[in-house]
A and B are shown apart, each in its own frame.
Chain A
Amino acid sequence: MKLFRFFAVGILFGIVLTKSEAISWYRIYEMFMFQSFHMYGIIGIAVITGVCGIRFIKKKEIKDYKGQPIEILDKEKSIARYLFGGIMFGLGWGLVGSCPGPIFILLGTGVPAIAVVLFGALLGTYLYGLLKDKLPH
């Protein structure tokens, strides 16, 4: 059951995002309208927790569960792809109020309309795959 630990982490992730209402269209809209601190608080604390954890892992040279050294790869340098891709994703995030994680989680809460969003997302990724070499990266 090598995959079970990932399944369990997924359950935790789904519960946290549902109970914090980060999967709610209203919470995302409220965030982009600067009318609530809720989402900024969630992302901010997640990043602070992450920064502390990653620093601890690097400093103490913590090994992963298999005893291998943990290697955290740097992201490839560029501006165009992050900015253009980021703006496209932001437009979609602002419109349907869900990023890729919440799309799956909302399926679990039983919203049929989310299946159309997921289908659109797969279509988008497929088209990106076809056009990848023609886009500025």
Chain B
Amino acid sequence: MEFITNTWHWSVSGFLIGVVMLLLTYFGKTFGMSSNLRTICSMSGGSKTASYFNFDWREQKWNLAIVLGSIVGGFIAYHFLGNASNIDINPKTIAQLQHIGIDAPNGKFLPDALFSMEALTSPKGFLLLLLGGFLIGFGTPYAGGCTSGHAISGLSNFQLPSLIAVVGFFVGGLVMAHFLIPIIF
């Protein structure tokens, strides 16, 4: 059972994500998680204020079913398929994080410095979570997709726009990790 409860190897995980994308193609759909943000906005009455949300969200029910499934999948994996106690981050990364005041994983998926109840209830912590979400929510529809839609689906079909988007993802991520995170924390 250890091959299930331990961290899954990148080759197995990558292959299965590719299979997810191909299954959806076979079902006549396009793999893309960020579209759901638009759908939820539309369902919540956004269509009254902007034409961008004025579409029949019922046609996106299949994608919302994937969202529900992924929440259940996260629950199952977290509670029944072993936990992250063997999460194996590069010791150099952990030392660097310690230096800027971010706690080591010690079996957690997420650092307390950003995701604990204490961080959540502090004004700075709350604003950082909101800002991070905001950038993701504004950036993905602007770029027309996220990791699933561009990096996986788009690159698999040799789409130049997706390559430009992925370069953008990395420019943003590198600037955040190398220059902004040490200043923020």
Contacts and interface: CB of A to CB of B under 8 A. Distances in A.
B74 A14 contact: yes
Contact of B137 (A39, A68, A106, A128): A128
Nearest to A10: B69
Interface in A101-117: 101, 103-114, 116-117
Q: Is the interface of B mostly helix, strand, loop or mixed?
A: helix
A47 to B, nearest CB: 5
A82 B161 contact: yes
Contact of B70 (A5, A31, A53, A108): A108
A19 B139 contact: no
A6 to B, nearest CB: 4
Nearest to B92: A35
Given A125-B37, A129-B52, A46 B181 contact: no
Q: Is the interface of A mostly helix, strand, loop or mixed?
A: helix
Interface residues of A, number: 115
Contacts of A121: 37, 133-134, 136-137
B132 A25 contact: no
Contact of B136 (A19, A21, A54, A99): A99
Contacts of B119: 113
- Most chain A CB neighbours (cut-off 10 Å) among B17, B70, B165: B70
Contacts of A112: 117, 120
A129 B167 contact: no
Contact of A13 (B7, B70, B126, B169): B70
Interface of A: 2-33, 35-39, 41-51, 53-54, 57, 62, 64-66, 68, 70, 72-79, 81-101, 103-114, 116-130, 132, 135
